[in-house]
Amino acid sequence: MSWRTETMLRDLDPDTEFEVSCRMCGKHRYEWAGDLVKLGRLGGFYIDQVQRDLRCFDRKCDGPVRICVMHDKLEEGFVAGMP
C-alpha cells in the first residue's frame, strides 16, 4: 500500500509536479497533476494506474515510465528515485 495506489490524480494539488522518467531509455519530462487531469481520461486514475497508462514521450521508444513526485508533500518516508 502506498500513496500510488490510494491517491487519485484529481485528488492531488494541481501544482503537484511529477517527474516522468522512461524505464527503457531514461528520458524524462515533467508533468503537473493539473495538466494531466485536464487531459480528461486520467483524472479518476490512481497514480499507479497513471504510471501504467503513460508511455515514454519518445514514440520510437514507447517504453514504460516511472513517476516520481518532485516535492514530498504526500508521504512521509517516500524516497525520490526509489522504484
Binding site residues, Zn ion, CB under 5 A: 22, 24-25, 56, 58, 61, 63
Q: Where are the beta strands (DSSP E) in 1-83?
A: 17-22, 28-32, 65-69
- Smaller CB separation from Zn ion, 51 or 74: 51
- In angstroms, give the least distance from the CB of 22 to Zn ion: 3
- Smaller CB separation from Zn ion, 10 or 55: 55
- Smaller CB separation from Zn ion, 14 or 26: 26
Which residues are bridge partners to 65 per DSSP?
22
- In angstroms, give the least distance from the CB of 28 to Zn ion: 9
